[in-house]
Structure 1
Amino acid sequence: MANDRFGVRWGLAGGTMLATVEEAREAARFAEASGFDGLWISHAMAVDPIVALACVGAEAPSLKEFGTSVVPLYGRYPIGLAQLAMTAQTALGGRFTLGIGAASKEQAEDRMGIAWDRPFSFTRDFVDGLQPLLAGQAASVVGDQLTTRTQLDIKAPNTPILLAALGPRMLRFAGERVEGTTLGQCGPRTIANYVLPHLDAGAEAAGRERPRVMALVRICVTEDYSGAFELAKAISARYQAFPSYAKVLAQEGLADPADLHLIGSWQQVLDGLAAYAEAGASDLRIEVSAHTEAAREATRLALADYLSS
């Protein structure tokens, strides 16, 4: 099979429920050996992704990028997050990218008892305070909800930001201000017809080129379609519980949101991944979403064979 990489970066979604740093190291070793461009670790009720990534750089000296997807902003402040990110940047030698997102109403209110009040304004204030700090500059920002006045004594390369965005205003803001957007549960049609128009409008208003568009794609190489699809339905149901995701998923026009998972032969999966590149995604964040250990290994082997050939 020809190694046509579609002209996009390939990142491994290293997992959402990593219980130990050793599990993060295993993901880094696989990403390195298989020929991925980067490793991404999600924020969940597991190891902190920034700390874990800072610990695993030596396992993958050839990886170009280590990133979070994504660190929730509610419950944090720009100064503390900048300290973490810049410290990780020193450990990773300039290869760290900070993926952030406001969080969700459930996370803010149910888990932390924080009012889900004007998330766009909160995100804007956060980025206003965070960006100068990451660039090694002094921040002096008095926002509607957050104030950031300080400078950090950390020597690190500037850390790029990817912003998780679903609403039009947040997408335009990502186009205007940060290095790109990181997407979950957004298919090719949604990216081409909804995400990019808003992202491009923000970039054009700021006189910038189109920033990065990183799509999360879940895949499974297997002959047992029904078994893999049952897992896909369980994962999709969790996203459907959030109105923002449900609204975006509806734009893809699928019979079932679980159809976003690419299931079947490697060629079928590869054709599905190509559709994301054709839609305008600049980055693929690949998650192996397998219902059995055999399917997991088959998927990992197919990825490694393709990327390293």
Structure 2
Amino acid sequence: MNLGVAFHPGTSGNAVDRAVALGRQAAQAGIRSAWLGQLFDYDAIALAGTIAREVPDLTVGTSAVPIFGRHPLPVSSQAQTSQAAAHGRFRLGLALGTRHLTEGAFGLPFERPVARLREFLTALRPLLETGEADFHGELLTATTPYTAAVAGAEPPVPVLVAAMGPKALDVTGELADGTLPFLAGPRTLGEEIVPRLTAAAERAGRPAPHVVAAVLGVVTDDADAAREAAVEATALYDRIPSYQRVIEREGHTRAADLVVAGDEEHMAKALRSYFDAGATEVFVTKADLTGEDDRLRTWRFLGELATAQPPTSA
């Protein structure tokens, strides 16, 4: 199993030092990848590259950087710099973001998100692959009067998109390397996301896409406490239409109902269901729902599963 974890360095002490320490802890447990979200505190792309530089056994990625309020040129520079720091072990995860955060924080209208995604990816791909772009779209322009290539950023940075809606999946399959669905359970993966994404990639003549599923989960003896903690941790997603749709498809009414909480056998069975549905990689997030002891227990178990068989390409 290709297994990873997502974590946040916290709000006390030094965020970078803490993130590197968590990265080392994950690698020592046998975990193969670490993922960082993007809010308004640390820069996830820069922090991922720093972790990879310090922890050479770990692949790193962002899950995910919203495209509203950002431009392909600086994002390419950031991503290539982290790829060089990581010596090829960095993956760029992008997202559409939400209307609430986009309009509230940036003062930007959350309009035509799928069209913006298409233009963003169309401009970004040549920047990452050749260091050049000459794109003039309806929503953005990206040209390179000087080279945008970063020496040592090899191979070209893989791009994943946190896409779940049909139109966003079509664009992702056509222009990106894969997807990063969160709160999309096995049913949604197997019946909707994987078939739609794969069909779009085939139409575009692209390789089979990666499907990196983010799973809310913790190995614990107190599943009830984990579910209660998950209610607060995921309340935002209950108000976002795209997440509401996949939650309902899984037969639930709120995001917290999708938490995987139980013993090691329960976790292993749940993870296997995601791979059986077509995920090529899974990472577990919010493993600290019931405290540090359970987070460590979860990470140790994920490491055991990950090292039980040789890794596949990611």
Instruction: Please report the TM-score for the alignment, with normalisation by the length of structure 2.
Output: 0.90
Measure the CA separation in 1 of the matches of 2:149 and 2:296: 45
In structure 1, the partner of 2:96 is: 102
Look up the equivalent residue of 1:35 and give its one-letter code. Answer: G
In structure 2, the partner of 1:134 is: 128
Look up the equivalent residue of 1:265 and give its one-letter code. Answer: D
Per-residue CA deviation, residues 258-281 of structure 1 (Å, 9 max, x unaligned), is 231111111011101100000000
In structure 2, the partner of 1:299 is: 298
Q: Secondary structure at the match of 2:28?
A: helix
Deviation at 1:18, TM superposition (A): 6.1
Does residue 43 (structure 1) correspond to residue 38 (structure 2)? The answer is: yes
Look up the equivalent residue of 1:14 and give its one-letter code. Answer: F
Measure the CA separation in 1 of the matches of 2:19 and 2:95: 21
Distance 1:87-1:243 versus aligned 2 partners, 3 A rule:
same
Per-residue CA deviation, residues 148-197 of structure 1 (Å, 9 max, x unaligned), is 11131422221110011121011011111111001111100110111112
Whether the aligned pair in 1 keeps the contact of 2:9 and 2:18 (CA below 8 Å) is: no
**Structural mapping, 1:225-244, within 5 Å:** 225-244=223-242
Measure the CA separation in 2 of the matches of 1:141 and 1:169: 22
In structure 2, the partner of 1:29 is: 24
Look up the equivalent residue of 2:93 and give its one-letter code. Answer: G
Look up the equivalent residue of 1:54 and give its one-letter code. Answer: G
Measure the CA separation in 1 of the matches of 2:224 and 2:269: 20
Measure the CA separation in 2 of the matches of 1:237 and 1:73: 23
Q: Percent identity?
A: 33
Look up the equivalent residue of 1:166 and give its one-letter code. Answer: M
**Structural mapping, 1:40-189, within 5 Å:** 40-63=35-58, 65-150=59-144, 151-155=147-151, 156-157=153-154, 158-189=156-187
159-168 or 146-155, larger mean C-alpha shift: 146-155
Distance 1:33-1:119 versus aligned 2 partners, 3 A rule:
same
Measure the CA separation in 1 of the matches of 2:11 and 2:278: 31
Measure the CA separation in 1 of the matches of 2:306 and 2:206: 31
Q: Aligned match of 1:12 in 5, 28, 42?
A: 5
- 5+ residue gaps in structure 2? 309-314
Q: Secondary structure at the match of 1:98?
A: strand
**Structural mapping, 1:221-300, within 5 Å:** 221-254=219-252, 256-287=254-285, 288-300=287-299
Whether the aligned pair in 2 keeps the contact of 1:43 and 1:69 (CA below 8 Å) is: yes
Instruction: Please report the TM-score for the alignment, with normalisation by the length of structure 1.
Output: 0.92
Whether the aligned pair in 2 keeps the contact of 1:57 and 1:92 (CA below 8 Å) is: yes
Per-residue CA deviation, residues 83-138 of structure 1 (Å, 9 max, x unaligned), is 11111111111111110112111111011110111111111111111111111242
Measure the CA separation in 2 of the matches of 1:196 and 1:306: 24
Deviation at 1:305, TM superposition (A): 4.0
Measure the CA separation in 1 of the matches of 2:11 and 2:63: 14
Q: Secondary structure at the match of 2:234?
A: helix
Q: Secondary structure at the match of 1:216?
A: strand
Whether the aligned pair in 2 keeps the contact of 1:134 and 1:159 (CA below 8 Å) is: yes
Measure the CA separation in 1 of the matches of 2:197 and 2:41: 31
Whether the aligned pair in 2 keeps the contact of 1:17 and 1:44 (CA below 8 Å) is: no
Deviation at 1:16, TM superposition (A): 7.2
Measure the CA separation in 2 of the matches of 1:90 and 1:116: 33
Does residue 210 (structure 1) correspond to residue 208 (structure 2)? The answer is: yes
267-276 or 294-303, larger mean C-alpha shift: 294-303
Look up the equivalent residue of 1:120 and give its one-letter code. Answer: V
